[in-house]
Amino acid sequence: MLPLANGGVCAIDELNLIKQDDLGALYNAMEKGFVSYDKANTHKTLSADVRIMATANPRSKKFLGKSAKFIKNQIPFDPALLSRFHIIAVVFRPDSDKFAEIASSVIRDSEKKITAEDKEFIKDYIKHSKELDVDFPKSLDEYVKEFAKEIRENEERMIAEASPRHIQGVVRLAKSLARMRLVKEASADDIKTAIALFKKLMYIN
């Protein structure tokens, strides 16, 4: 599965059900960009430079409680795997009003028609944006240093342990925001937005 997604995105549903052998391959792909295949005296190394998007269920049917410590105990993964994700979002079961709002939104979106021209425009937009070599200027380094200091000081509020990968993650998010605007350099607004998004998703109040 992972080699087939090489150079692209691999979406995994119910990651908590993954087999232990497959989990090892996932570690390798996320850390090194390849997976190894060993069977019947055959050894192969396959490129798997992928971006992983995954969903998973908590140990119980839904997340209970609101404290970061309690939430972390319900996540069915060890810190080693969690640290490999730049962003983690905990989704709580919606109340009745929120559920009705979501249902209405789904109905409205299902009524929208996407034309062939829309699809071609989106393809061209993505292709062009991927070709951009986006720079992260040194003038933004101070934002990153302050962010690194803050997440270490507020680690007890985070879903996962603070890691250098989180620093790398917000820089990549900032560059992605610039890429979405089709510009070649990330701005202060980009890194501020990336940090705000990180804190919104990774902090449990």
- Asked if the structure places residue 155 within a domain, the reply is yes
Taking residue 204's Cβ as centre, other Cβ atoms within 10 Å add up to 18
Cα 125 from Cα 114, distance rounded (Å): 16
What phi and psi values does residue 19 have, to the nearest 5 degrees? -75, 155
- Asked if the structure places residue 102 within a domain, the reply is no
Query: What pLDDT is stored for residue 142 in this prediction?
Result: 97
- Asked if the structure places residue 2 within a domain, the reply is no
pTM of the full structure: 0.82
Cα 83 from Cα 47, distance rounded (Å): 22
Domain that holds residue 180: 132-202
Per-residue pLDDT of the chain (205 residues; tens, 9 = 90+): 788 888 888 899 999 888 877 787 788 888 888 888 777 777 788 888 888 999 999 888 788 777 777 888 888 888 888 888 888 888 888 888 888 988 888 887 777 788 899 999 999 999 999 899 999 999 999 999 999 999 999 988 888 888 898 999 999 999 999 999 999 999 999 999 999 999 999 988 7
- Asked if the structure places residue 154 within a domain, the reply is yes
Determine which helix (DSSP H) or strand (DSSP E) holds 182, and give its type and residue range. none
Tokens of 96: 């009745």
Sequence-distant (≥ 6) Cβ neighbours of residue 35 within 8 angstroms: 2, 3, 25, 28, 29, 45, 46, 48
Cα 9 from Cα 12, distance rounded (Å): 10
- Asked if the structure places residue 178 within a domain, the reply is yes
Cα 184 from Cα 205, distance rounded (Å): 36
Query: What pLDDT is stored for residue 69 in this prediction?
Result: 79
* The total number of structural domains that make up the chain: 1
Helix, strand, or coil here: 101? helix
Query: What pLDDT is stored for residue 64 in this prediction?
Result: 78
Query: What pLDDT is stored for residue 181 in this prediction?
Result: 96
- Asked if the structure places residue 142 within a domain, the reply is yes
- Asked if the structure places residue 174 within a domain, the reply is yes
- Asked if the structure places residue 179 within a domain, the reply is yes
Tokens of 87: 């962003």
Contact between 157 and 150 (Cβ < 8 Å): no
Query: What pLDDT is stored for residue 106 in this prediction?
Result: 82
